[in-house]
Amino acid sequence: MIRDVLRMGDPRLLEISKPLERFGTPELFELIRDMQDTMAHLNGAGLAAPQIGVLLRVVIFGVEKNPRYPDAEEVPFTILCNPELTPLSDEMEDGWEGCLSVPGMRGVVPRYKRLRYAGFDPHGTRIEREVSDFHARVVQHECDHLDGMLYPMRIRDFRKFGFTEALFPGEEIADD
Ligand code: NI
């Protein structure tokens, strides 16, 4: 079921979400199905459970060829519960981001370039990956939602923050 996505300003987006305690339950599969339906409907690169008002540490992400990120590399579709992120170096990289909770806008955000992430799939099977660049950026963005952090809170140069249509006139980029 497609769910409403909370928008920046809703206090639930600022909460610290709770760890998922039970894997493989019908409730979890229903949550993930709703998240997938919602992300696909809005053409998003990722979605965190708190964005649909469920304060659990569950994120999904994945990019095939997405008009939101025309130059972005592919990211395999992943469901990640109770994620833990470990940067593999101090190196940061700037890149454009958008968010379904901040529709119609884009901003440049610094993120760790390389990191290891670990967590569990919905059945409780361990996932562990080392990633870089756009894949690393997407994971950092989604996991930030679990700690009440939205990408505008990480922007350093507000000259590089604005409405997508004004920033990229004439380019075909989804509007949220
Ligand atoms: Ni987001």
In this prediction, residues 73-85 reach a mean pLDDT of 96
- Is residue 71 over pLDDT 90? no
From the list 91, 142, 171, 172, the catalytic residue is 142
- The most distant pair of C-alpha atoms in the chain lies apart, rounded to whole Å, by 47
Q: Which helix or strand (DSSP H or E) is residue 140 part of?
A: helix 133-145
Told to judge if 165 belongs to the known catalytic residues of this protein, a careful annotator would answer: no
Q: By the 8 A CB rule, do 134 and 95 touch?
A: yes
pLDDT for 151 equals 98
Average pLDDT of span 12-29: 98
HEC per residue, 18-80: ECCCCCCCHHHHHHHHHHHHHHHHCCCCEEEHHHHCCCECEEEEEECCCCCCCCCCCEEEEEE
Sign of CA pseudo-dihedral 115, 118, 119, 123 = positive
How far apart are the CA of 141 and the centre of ligand 1, in A?
Answer: 6
Q: How far apart (Å, rounded) are the C-alpha atoms in residues 58 and 56?
A: 6
Lowest-confidence pick of 37-46, 58-67, 99-108, 150-159: 58-67
Q: Using the predicted structure, report yes or no on whether residue 89 has a pLDDT greater than 80.
A: yes
Two tokens, residue 14: 């600022």
Residue 67 has what pLDDT?
A: 64
Query: Residue 174 C-alpha to ligand 1 middle, in angstroms?
Result: 14
Q: Over 60: is that where the pLDDT of 154 sits? A: yes
Q: Is the pLDDT of residue 76 over 60?
A: yes
Average pLDDT taken over every residue of the chain = 95
| Per-position b or e across 9-21, b if 16+ CB within 10 A of its CB | eeeebeeebeebe
Q: Contact 16/148 with Cβ under 8 angstroms?
A: yes
- Residue 5 Cα to ligand 1 middle (Å): 10
Q: How far is the CA of 83 from the centre of ligand 1 (A)?
A: 16
The residue extents of the domains of the chain are: 11-167
Among 22-26, 31-35, 52-56, 72-76, which stretch is predicted with the lowest mean pLDDT?
72-76
Distance CA(53)–CA(64), nearest Å, equals 26
Residue 174: band (very low, low, confident or very high) from pLDDT cuts 50, 70, 90: low
Lowest mean pLDDT among 6-10, 63-67, 80-84, 119-123: 63-67
* pLDDT, tens only, 99-137: 999 999 999 999 999 999 999 999 999 999 999 999 999
Provide the β-strand partners of residue 117.
85, 129
| Whether CATH 3.30.1130.10 fits 11-167 | no
Residue 173 reports pLDDT greater than 80: no
* CA 15 / ligand 1 centre spacing (Å): 14
Main-chain dihedrals φ then ψ at residue 63, nearest 5 degrees: -135, 120
Mean pLDDT of 161-170: 95
CB 112 within 8 A of CB 87: yes
